[in-house]
Amino acid sequence: MSLAPAIRMNGLAFFILPSALLFALFFFLPIGLMAVMSLLTGNPVVAPNVAFTTRHYARIADDPYYFEVIWTTIRIGLWTTLAALAIGYPLAHWMARIKSRAGHALLLMAVLAPMLTGIVVRTFAWMALLSDKGVINQTLQSLGLVSQPLKLMYNETGIVIGLVHIYVPFMVLTLTGVIGRIDERLEQAAENLGASPLRTFLEVTLPLSLPGILAGSLLVFALAISAYVTPILLGGFQIMTLPILIYQQISANFNIGFAAALGMVLLLVSFVLVVAYNHVLGRVSGQRDLQ
Amino acid sequence: MSASIEIAGVSKIYDGGVRAVDAVAMDIRQGEFFSLLGPSGCGKTTTLRMIAGFEAPSAGAIRVDGTDITHLPAHKRDMGMVFQNYALFPHRSVQENVAFGLRMRRIDKATIAAKVKAALAMVELTGMEDRRPGQLSGGQQQRVALARAIVIEPRVLLCDEPLGALDKKLRQQMQFELKQLQKALGLTLVFVTHDQEEALAMSDRIAVMNGGRVEQIGTPVEIYDRPTTRFVADFIGDTNIFRGERAATTSGSGLAVGNGLVLTLPASVSAEATGVLSVALRPEKIRLTAAGQSPSACAHGQVESTNFLGGAVLYRIALTSGHRILAQQPNAGTSSLFAPGNLVALDWDPSDLVVLRD
Ligand SMILES: Nc1ncnc2c1ncn2[C@@H]1O[C@H](COP(=O)(O)OP(=O)(O)O)[C@@H](O)[C@H]1O
Ligand SMILES: [Mg+2]
């Protein structure tokens, strides 16, 4: 009697096994190795006398410079997330509610098209727009709106602009799914009860799209704090972020242990965020879990 | 308090050219239980949504107490609505759902609390204040939706198949309660349903709709006993429909419906007119007797099958003219019942024949 489910379980396990192995191999193993490396004095593959140490972490904790780098990285991540949300939400709302199929297809294409171009290409395009002699400054100056070129590049503003462009599609796609699942009749019910369109948005649409806002923000933030190419090119090595620092430690200083410790810090930042996210989401949607 | 609604020549053509509502005109009186009845897709919901302001009419005007509201935004219409799926706010408690409309009206907290309490008591949901809609049964959700709509003391209450999702027993109970509530509050209620029994049982008046048009507006008795169109006669209850050519008979004007069967038309039908007519005859207006006992009967036939309904029996009878008709008799005891194969005589009052427009 109870044999059939057992067999089915085994069959299921059989199918899950390869992906589970792959997951272990390419996810847990590298992170585990990184965690071990961050606690070693050197690379055990090439160096003879390797011992356990916490000096990499001590170095990060002792030097305010590293705090500055971590904070810059988080700051860029936060601004990118906020800007992507501000741009992405209206777009996603439009896309989720547009009636015509052709309109929806066009919007989807407009959102996805940038993703078809490589990040490097897009970043260079932004450089052509944002630099002192770029399109934007030239236009503003010829119109007489500014006398000096605006500093749009080789600072955090430039990096955030470039990152927002890259990550807005992730925000839009995440949000569209969630907003699209909100029953329009809930909004109509609110209006019927006397809520203006703005009130309806604040009381019904926004709270019900919170899971999407959180998920999209988490995704964009995690991607933004680990971005490398855009911060390098649009920051012009003036702005130091964690991924740039990690790369430098590996390629220029060959200090793999320290790079691993920095990597663990980056991971920790993301991890704290995921936990906080789950906590917040649990609190806002726990109310709905019995539906 | 409650208002009258005038729907004047309203049409709705959706993008893509679907004419969902076609030149609909109706006057809904103050304090009236008014039903929109018709098959799925006939435009009931669209009509209701235009009254609520969720859809703009392509033509025509909607007036409430004489004031044109055709282009007034939904949130300024002061109408309550109970949606088919209830549309309760899933992220809000029962209490917050019911208080929503009052909050939008900037009423002070103490008054809101008192009104919400009274409304929940009225729908017998006291004690459920802090539950979420997801933690309620279908019937309870239905009551919350009702409380949320009536607590704002709307000028008009609109209901789109509000009882459709409930099982039969609960639906009958809610029908009764809704009707009681509507009477007690003197509400003008526009009620959408595709269930004719529900419409007949609850309404003061019914508008029967078909293909975006109004076929007939009338009281349940008028709609049932005096349908004006073939569609209405067919849609409401069981009915026998005959179609034939006008013919003169000894007792006045008649209708030759084929194979020698001539029906005597009611006296109210003018004798001169000729041409093709349809008439309807309800099964329960037919009296059955054993063949031979009533030589002057309207028609004769043989029982093909019987359908025992408890309080009544529905017979399917093949007439000697070849027509098949339904006749319903009250169950007056075993001895009065007919069995398949029995020969019977059928009698009816000519005034029970209803002339239909096609
Ligand atoms: N938003 C819409 N866009 C296009 N056609 C619609 C829309 N809503 C309803 N219709 C069409 O209009 C007709 C009437 O629909 P509806 O008013 O919902 O009927 P009912 O409520 O009587 O079932 C149907 O043919 C339906 O397919
Ligand atoms: Mg409908």
ipTM of the predicted structure?
0.83
Q: Establish if A2 belongs to a structural domain.
A: no
B contact set with A (CB within 8 A): 15, 52-54, 73-81, 83, 85, 87-91, 100-101, 104-105, 132-135, 148, 152
Could you give the C-alpha distances from A35 to A31, A52, A61, A250, A260, in angstroms and in order? 6, 12, 17, 15, 7
Closest Cα in chain B to A198: B75
Give the count of alpha carbons within 13 A of A112, CB side only: 10
Domain segments of chain B as ranges: 5-235, 240-356
Q: Is the CB of B41 under 6 A from ligand 1?
A: yes
Q: What are phi and psi of B115, to 5 degrees?
A: -70, -40
Among B36, B87, B63, which Cα is nearest to B216's? B36
CB B80 to CB A192 under 8 A?
yes
Nearest CA-CA distance, residue B200 and chain A, Å:
28
Cα(B212) to centroid(ligand 1), Å: 9
Structure tokens at B97: 């759902």
Testing ligand 1's pocket by substitution, the residue of B18, B19, B35, B161 carrying the most ligand atoms inside 8 A of its CB is B18
In chain B, residues with a C-beta closer than 8 Å to the C-beta of A200 are 75
Among B298, B276, B274, B277, which Cα is nearest to B287's? B298
- Strands B33-37, B188-193: pairing is parallel
DSSP for B233-246, please give it.
HHHSS--EEEEEEE
Nearest CA-CA distance, residue B298 and chain A, Å:
55
Query: Which ranges of chain B would DSSP assign to H, the alpha helix?
Result: 44-52, 94-104, 109-122, 138-150, 168-185, 196-202, 220-225, 230-235
Residue B200 CA to chain centroid, in angstroms?
5
- For residues A243 and A92, the answer to whether their CB atoms sit within 8 Å is no
Tell me the per-residue pLDDT of B262-271, one tens digit each, with 9 for 90 and over. Answer: 898 888 777 6
Tell me the per-residue pLDDT of B332-357, one tens digit each, with 9 for 90 and over. Answer: 887 788 999 999 999 999 999 999 98
Exposed e or buried b for every residue in B109-118, given b needs 16+ CB within 10 A? Answer: eeebeebbee
Q: What is the pLDDT of residue A289?
A: 41
Could you give the C-alpha distances from A134 to A127, A149, B223, in angstroms and in order? 7, 9, 77
pTM for the structure as a whole:
0.82
> Any idea which ligand is nearest the CA of B211?
1
Q: What is the mean pLDDT of residues A14-31?
A: 87
Q: Establish if A34 belongs to a structural domain.
A: no
Q: Establish if A165 belongs to a structural domain.
A: yes
Tell me the per-residue pLDDT of A151-205, one tens digit each, with 9 for 90 and over. Answer: 998 999 999 999 999 999 999 999 999 999 999 999 999 999 999 999 999 999 9
Q: How many Cβ contacts (< 8 angstroms) between chains A and B?
A: 80
Quick check: A12 pLDDT over 80? Answer: no
CA distance B28 to B10: 14
Q: B182 CB contacts (<8 Å, ≥6 apart)?
A: B33, B157, B189
Domain with residue A141: its CATH number is 1.10.3720.10
Categorize the per-residue pLDDT at B272 as very low, low, confident or very high, splitting at 50, 70 and 90.
low
**Helix, strand, coil percentages for chain A (3-state, nearest 5):** 75, 0, 20
CB B75 to CB A195 under 8 A?
yes
A30/B contact by beta carbon, under 8 A: no
Give the count of alpha carbons within 13 A of A5, CB side only: 2
Closest Cα in chain B to A208: B91
Cα(B45) to centroid(ligand 1), Å: 7
- Among 3.40.50.720, 2.60.40.10, 1.10.287.110, 2.40.50.140, what is the CATH number of B240-356? 2.40.50.140
Q: Establish if A55 belongs to a structural domain.
A: no
Q: Which residue's CA is the nearest one to ligand 1's atom 24?
A: B41
CA distance A94 to A107: 9
Q: Is the CB of B54 under 6 A from ligand 1?
A: no
Q: What are phi and psi of A241, to 5 degrees?
A: -120, 170
Q: Establish if A48 belongs to a structural domain.
A: no
A197/B contact by beta carbon, under 8 A: yes
> Any idea which ligand is nearest the CA of B49?
1
- For residues B202 and B190, the answer to whether their CB atoms sit within 8 Å is no
Q: Establish if A59 belongs to a structural domain.
A: no
Tell me the per-residue pLDDT of B307-326, one tens digit each, with 9 for 90 and over. Answer: 999 899 999 999 999 999 99
DSSP at A94: H
When divided into structural domains, chain A yields a total of 1
The third-level CATH classification (topology) of the domain covering B5-235 is: Rossmann fold (3.40.50)
Radius of gyration of chain A (CA): 24
- Please, what is the angle between helix A101-112 and helix A156-180, to 10°? 150
- Strands B156-160, B188-193: pairing is parallel
Cross-chain CB nearest to A194 (options B75, B87, B135): B75
Closest Cα in chain A to B99: A193
Among A35, A27, A33, A31, which Cα is nearest to A57's? A35
> Any idea which ligand is nearest the CA of B46?
1
CA distance B142 to B163: 8
**Structural domain containing residue A201:** 68-290
Among B323, B244, B249, which Cα is nearest to B277's? B244
CB A191 to CB B73 under 8 A?
yes
CA distance B112 to B95: 10
Quick check: B256 pLDDT over 80? Answer: yes
Q: Establish if A40 belongs to a structural domain.
A: no
CA distance B137 to A282: 24
Atom of ligand 1 nearest to the CA of B46: 17
Cα(B227) to centroid(ligand 2), Å: 23
Q: Is the CB of B44 under 6 A from ligand 1?
A: yes
The strands making up B312-319's β-sheet, listed across from edge to edge, are B287-290, B343-347, B299-308, B312-319, B324-330
Q: What is the mean pLDDT of residues B279-303?
A: 90
Q: Establish if A19 belongs to a structural domain.
A: no
Categorize the per-residue pLDDT at A291 as very low, low, confident or very high, splitting at 50, 70 and 90.
very low
